[in-house]
Amino acid sequence: MDALQRARELVGGARSVVVLSGAGISAESGVPTFRGEDGLWKSFRPEQLATPAAFAADPRLVWEWYAWRRERVAACRPNPGHEALARFCGARDATLVTQNVDGLHRLAATDHAGKSVAEAGHELLELHGSLFAVRCTGCTFRRAHRDPVDATTRDALPRCPSCGGLLRPDVVWFGEALDAGVLGRAFEAAAAADLCLVVGTSALVHPAASVPLAAVRSGARLVEVNPEPTPLSSLADAVLRGPAGTLLPALLS
Ligand code: BV8
Ligand code: ZN
């Protein structure tokens, strides 16, 4: 039996599913991945930009990078991989855990069901936050934020309406703790799952990459969708070596 048949059998027989997605699921939507040949980290070094120290040292440069990414992502649409996953998760007990900050899973869930993600019946956990939200560096203020950011001068950077503090992208940077509630729910879903589907992640960033490990430790079967091998490939019961935009519709229909 080929890998797709094996994977379809595992999906068909699963009672509770946890999905972990990474930047690869958005590659076919035109969102650059982190470590690919056109990867974001190629043009910028992570320690230079995606850390609290970098923001403290040069908030204008960090905002310039995020403003550029927002602009690029705002022009992108969910691809058939996001849509197949939204239909699949909306129809059963499935938790979608994503490392992506591009908001495309949220968009796909809304497009597909025409309802909000919550109404669409499945849980979406954005472990690393969202490009389209900001939070204050000086108080607890945070909100959705899609307005273009003028990062040309430090004085033009967005300010908190309640305390005047500098606003920052509401994402989790390297060296920062993830939201304990969101991470807790991801590990709960992993412990309860009998199937873990890992899509489009190099599985290098923790604690996100530990979610599939927790699922396997609790007895879940593992299916990986990725054109490249990753540290999780050796744990997988079925590996689909190819693009999510083609393989997820074939796997989940
Ligand atoms: C923390 C938000 C502690 C910002 C991001 C050693 C062990 C364990 C941990 C560490 C360690 N050394 C350092 C650490 C800590 C660090 C870490 O894991 N570093 C790694 C690099 C080793 N982790 C942290 O700092 C985390 N915090 O540990 O805090 C703490 C605890 C308590 C109190 C205080 C502190 C925070 C990590 C979060 C960082 N933020 N993003 C932003 O986006 O700007 S991470 C960033 O990488 C993105 O979120 C991205 O999603 C994530 C992972 O990358 P991937 O999604 O996997 O993308 P990548 O390009 O790597 O891979 C794409 C894959 O897709 C490839 O495999 C490719 O083959 C495949 N693909 C390509 N095309 C397709 C495809 N697949 C399918 N279809 C296609 N068409
Ligand atoms: Zn504030």
Kindly report, residue by residue over 191-221, the tens digit of the pLDDT: 999 999 999 999 999 999 999 999 999 999 9
Ligand 1 within 6 A of CB of 66: no
Q: What is the pLDDT of residue 32?
A: 83
* 5 CA from centroid of ligand 1 (Å): 30
Ligand 1 within 6 A of CB of 201: yes
**What is the pLDDT averaged over residues 180-197?**
98
Q: What would the pLDDT profile of 80-89 be if each residue is shown by its tens digit?
A: 999 999 999 9
23 versus 42: which is more confidently predicted? Answer: 23
**What is the pLDDT averaged over residues 101-130?**
80
Ligand 1 within 6 A of CB of 98: no
Q: What would the pLDDT profile of 153-179 be if each residue is shown by its tens digit?
A: 999 999 999 999 999 999 999 999 999
Ligand 1 within 6 A of CB of 15: no
Q: What is the pLDDT of residue 46?
A: 64
Which atom in ligand 1 lies closest to the alpha carbon of residue 206?
A: 18
Instruction: Confirm whether 128 is a catalytic residue.
Output: yes
Catalytic residue among 82, 112, 128, 145: 128
Whose CA is closest to atom 66 on ligand 1?
202
Indicate the pLDDT class of residue 118, thresholds 50, 70 and 90: low
17 versus 91: which is more confidently predicted? Answer: 17
Instruction: Tell whether pTM > 0.75.
Output: yes
Long-range contacts of 7-15 (CB under 8 A, 24+ apart): 7/223, 7/238, 7/240, 7/251, 8/251, 10/195, 10/221, 10/223, 10/237, 10/238, 11/195, 11/197, 11/223, 11/251, 11/252, 14/193, 14/194, 14/195, 14/221, 15/93, 15/194
